[in-house]
Amino acid sequence: MKTKGVPSVLRISREGQKNLSSFSWMKILNEMKDRAPDVLDFLVTIAVPKLKDDGKQVVPLCVAYGILMNLRCRELSLVQKINTVMLETGSATKKVINYDFIMLL
């Protein structure tokens, strides 16, 4: 369902992919505060038992919100696009070893 008001910062069109350079985690956090305060409270309660002022808790909260919203509407894919760009830029390969699984063996 598309909104009739201001579109989500997570909505990214084909043309919008060129504007990834203006990405900010704070935009996503501010959207959560404005549009989904209950979801923000829920995620903070589960993921951040002790609030810190160092800003390291913003990214995990925004990623969790991005995943939830992407499941709700496939067009809300900004976080997934950013993760893809970071993995490609960091020279990630398709080969992934699950060390936790190996340790269980």
> Could you report how far apart the first and last alpha carbons of the chain are, in Å?
46
Number of separate domains in the chain:
1
Specify the residue for token string 């925004």. 62
Q: What is the mean pLDDT of residues 95-101?
A: 54
Residue 6 within any structural domain of the chain: no
The pLDDT tens digits of the residues spanning 17-56 come to 566 777 888 999 999 999 999 999 988 888 776 667 677 7
Which tokens is 12 given? 């990214």
Q: What gap in Å lies between CA 104 and CA 84, rounded to an integer?
A: 29
pTM over 0.75: no
What is the span of the domain harbouring residue 38? 15-104
Specify the residue for token string 């201001």. 6
